[in-house]
Amino acid sequence: MFQTTPHSHAGQPQRCQPQRCQPQRCQPQRCQPQRCHFSEKWHLLSWERCHFFKKWHLWTPRHLLSWERCHFFKKWHLWSPGHLWAALALLLLAPLAQAEPPETFTNDLEMEFTLIPAGAFTMGRNPNFEDGRNDELPAHRVQIKKPFYMQITEVTQEQWVSVMGSNPSKFKARSNPVEQVSWDDIQGFLKKLNEKEGCNGCYRLPSEAEWEYAYRAGTKSAWPHGDDQDAIGSFAWCVVEDYDRGHHPVGQLQPNPWGLFDMGGNVWEWVEDCYHESYNGAPTDGSAWNDNCYKSSGGETYRVLRGGSWSNDPNLCRAAFRVSYSPDLRGNAFGFRVVRELSPRTR
């Protein structure tokens, strides 16, 4: 371990006290190395960096514009090898100090999104507690590695018209979900939406795993509210004893624990994935599964819909339930919601 001997203008070197330094009297040469270092183990580092690596200095943005810069921006100091390393460290550590992404996001079309955190969950049906179909099996763990934004409601007719120019819905109402849209139609909507927002690939359909992860919102039951289907009327427009035929304005019932409305009922929601007859071989990273797809008798690849609709009983509104249809099929109970990438690629 080496020693350095700083110059002194008045007897013995003084203790390093950068907080007392005035711009016109900045004299880092008076610091004793053993007093300056943030950690005693840092003695191999250039002693001049003591003023830069104080915790309050590294992580407080205002100090980039305050008097403490006298220790860094002296010409002889800026080009010292020690501070070249310090500048490099700041560049590497800066991303760690960035603020967390906002919990919500609203785009220019008034489409509202909420942040879905990264995490893990069990996808599919638990055969010990739920009755269902074989294509909901086997239950398997999925790791969602990155957070993403999901639209808090289904795409409304007003939002569709603002992008596409016309309304294909049977039950027309400005705040109701758009319906009678096929998976293929949605690809055209997403292309134009990305162009309107000036980005490449910002908006897309959720993968099937992302959709179920967001619907469950950390729960393990058949529905986010629990296993009692009699309580479904408080959060999902499914067929119940006193239901109104047809879909309803979005966002009228209770949301799930992550603030998403109408994930069950109202309209079926297209997702990105093609259909498979089971989860054997399914991805475990939350990505869309678009290879080795099931083929119909006519050789057609089907696409998946989730969530059930106003015309289905509560069993079809379970988190694990899934159906599939031809990607060009339109129906008055078929709609969708979109995902927005957290860090989209700008054009």
Residue-level pLDDT at 96: 53
Per-residue pLDDT band at 1 (split at 50, 70, 90): very low
Residue 247: pLDDT band with limits 50, 70, 90: confident
Q: What is the pLDDT of residue 112?
A: 98
Instruction: Kindly report, as residue ranges, where domains of CATH 3.90.1580.10 are found in the chain.
Output: 104-346
Residue 30: pLDDT band with limits 50, 70, 90? very low
For the stretch 257-272, pLDDT in tens is: 999 999 999 999 999 9
104-346 fold: paralog of FGE (formylglycine-generating enzyme) (3.90.1580)
Other C-beta atoms lying within 10 Å of the C-beta of residue 300: 13
C-alpha to C-alpha distance for 36 and 34, rounded to whole angstroms: 6
User: How do residues 133-191 score in pLDDT, each as one tens digit?
Assistant: 999 999 999 999 999 999 999 999 999 999 999 999 999 999 999 999 999 999 999 99
CA–CA dist 321, 188 (Å, integer)? 27
Query: For position 31, what pLDDT does the model report?
Result: 41
Cα torsion at 137, 139, 141, 146 (round to 10°)? 60
Report how far apart the first and last C-alpha atoms of the chain are (Å, whole number).
Answer: 52
pLDDT per residue over 216-227, tens digit each? Answer: 999 999 998 888
Residues 6+ apart with CB under 8 A from 269: 154, 211, 263, 305, 306, 307, 335, 336, 337
| Phi then psi dihedrals of residue 195, to 5 deg | -65, -40
Provide the residue type at 36 as one letter: C
Kindly give the interhelix angle for 157-164 and 183-197, rounded to the nearest 10 degrees: 70
Average pLDDT, stretch 219-248?
Answer: 81
pLDDT beyond 50 at 198: yes
- Which tens digit of pLDDT belongs to each residue from 62-120? 444 433 444 444 444 444 556 566 667 667 666 555 568 899 999 999 999 999 999 99
Where would I find the beta strands (DSSP E) of the chain?
A: 104-106, 112-116, 119-123, 140-144, 148-151, 199-200, 203-204, 268-274, 303-306, 322-325, 334-335, 339-340, 345-346
The Cα–Cα gap between 155 and 174 comes to 11
Residue 179's pLDDT is what?
97
CA 327, CA 295: separation in Å to the nearest integer?
Answer: 12
Question: Is pLDDT of 210 > 60?
Answer: yes
Count of C-beta atoms within a 10 Å radius of residue 129: 10
Residues 6+ apart with CB under 8 A from 156: 174, 175, 176, 177, 178, 250
With 0-12 / 13-18 / 19 or more C-beta atoms within 10 angstroms meaning exposed / middle / buried, residue 315 is middle
* Cβ-based neighbours of 76, under 8 Å, separated by 6 or more: none
The reply to whether omega before 249 is within 30° of 0 (cis) is no
Q: pLDDT digits over 293-335, tens only?
A: 999 888 999 999 999 999 999 999 999 999 999 999 999 999 9
Give the separation between CA 253 and CA 244, rounded to whole angstroms: 14
37-67 per-position pLDDT tens digit: 443 333 333 434 444 444 334 443 444 443 3
Q: Is the entire prediction scored with pTM above 0.85?
A: no
Q: What is the rounded CA–CA span in Å between residue 129 and residue 139?
A: 12
What is the mean predicted confidence (pLDDT) over 270-288?
97
Q: What is the pLDDT of residue 86?
A: 64
Q: Reply yes or no on whether the pLDDT at 284 is more than 70.
A: yes
**Over 80: is that where the pLDDT of 274 sits?**
yes
